[in-house]
Amino acid sequence: MQEQLQQLKQEAISKIESASTVKELQDVRVAYLGKKGPITDLLKGMGKLPAEERPKMGALVNVIREEVTSVLDERLVVLEDFAIQQQLKNESIDVTLPGRPVKTGNHHPLTRVVEEIEDLFISMGYEIAEGPEVEKDYYNFEALNLPKGHPARDMQDSFYISEDILLRTHTSPVQARTMEAKGGEPIRIICPGKVYRRDNDDATHSHQFTQIEGLVIGENIRMSDLKGTLSVFAKKMFGDDREIRLRPSFFPFTEPSVEMDISCFKCGGSGCNVCKKTGWIEILGAGMVHPNVLEMAGYDSKRLSGFAFGMGPERIAMLKYGVEDIRHFYTNDVRFVSQFHRTEV
């Protein structure tokens, strides 16, 4: 029995030393010290021993059990520490490694230009007004001094849905609706949105494009207010050293009408491919609101006056970002759109 015990102890200790994981060690503990283990069996077999030998044998078994248990516990500390080192090694993050780039989306370049212009006019006390893209002929044309049969209507070739319903050709109907709703009260709004013209798409024309128009109506609103407003817009949008130039023009809904040029932000005015060697870049059209338009919307054109302007954000985005073809804005090619990450621009 004694050498059996010694042999058992050696066997258990060699198993303990060859255990390479905490799990294996727990299995050895259960195998040797567990209820169904050989040491327990030995204790159960004590009954067969002569009575005088039992205490000595019992003490020996307990000594063996303690020895095996202490070797086990020492080994457990080693294996648990080794497991933690392994885990640390496997889970250690080399913080010097560059992070995995998180591909983030970004705003469409058009959205950015529109929002930039909106923020600019909001900072000048304007409100944003929007309206239906499927519009009544009255608000898209008549209310804007373009009665039925007026030749200028053809200039804005339209997608008619029915006799007097069409896809709006400009955002001006939003201003007409707002004037009608305001019943003669002062107005300071900008109207961004999509517009539609029956046009063959090419590098500078699209059947669907965006516009931002603005309208200010009140007492004693003058051309100089328009010029001042456009000058602030040009400097904030294209750089403080921009000059503006107003050239006479014609729009049925404004009189007088102008077109505004800015000094080229690429060459500063000396002439380049962006400004086609003129030094000036046309940005928008504007004018004093035509008295007919005021009267039709219920505004007393004797007491009140106003100015309005209109621009194409695509054109501004193409100038600002050097985009050659307007169709890029609509084909949603990720290679094109993903170039406009906030950080770069």
Binding site residue list for Mg(2+) = 255
**CA-closest candidate to residue 253, choices 152, 324, 330:** 152
Residue 242 main-chain phi, psi, to 5 deg: -75, 140
Alpha helices in 185-308 (DSSP H): 223-238, 291-296
Give the CA distances from residue 219 to residues 121, 185, 258, 307, in Å, rounded to whole numbers and listed in that order: 20, 10, 21, 11
Q: Is 313 in the site for ligand 2U9 (CB under 6 A)?
A: no
Q: Is 287 in the site for ligand 2U9 (CB under 6 A)?
A: yes
Which of 158, 211, 229, 305 lies at the binding interface for ligand 2U9 (CB under 6 A)? 211
**CA-closest candidate to residue 261, choices 273, 253, 249, 251:** 249
Q: CB of residue 322 vs ligand 2U9: minimum separation in angstroms?
A: 20
| 109 or 306: CB nearest ligand 2U9 | 306
- Length of the chain counted residue by residue: 345
Q: String of b and e for 128-161 (b: at least 16 CB within 10 Å)?
A: ebebeeebbbebbbbbbbbeeeeeebeebebeee
Which residue's beta carbon is nearest to the bound ligand 2U9? 285
The tokens of 136 are what?
A: 């009544």
Tell me the binding residues.
Answer: 255
Residues 134-193 that bind ligand 2U9 (CB under 6 A): 144, 170, 172, 175-176, 179
Which of 213, 216, 230, 263 lies at the binding interface for ligand 2U9 (CB under 6 A)? 213
Q: Is 285 in the site for ligand 2U9 (CB under 6 A)?
A: yes
| 25 or 308: CB nearest ligand 2U9 | 308
Residues 6+ apart with CB under 8 A from 38: 8, 32
Selected range binding ligand 2U9 among 18-26, 37-45, 114-122, 209-217, rule: CB under 6 A: 209-217
* Structure-token match 């709703």, residue found: 181
Q: Is 275 in the site for ligand 2U9 (CB under 6 A)?
A: no
Q: CB of residue 295 vs ligand 2U9: minimum separation in angstroms?
A: 12
Q: Is 217 in the site for ligand 2U9 (CB under 6 A)?
A: no
Q: For residue 256, say if its preceding peptide bond is cis, omega within 30 degrees of 0.
A: yes
Q: Is 206 in the site for ligand 2U9 (CB under 6 A)?
A: no
Give residues in contact with ligand 2U9 (CB under 6 A): 144, 170, 172, 175-176, 179, 211, 213, 215, 251, 253-254, 284-287, 289, 293, 308-312
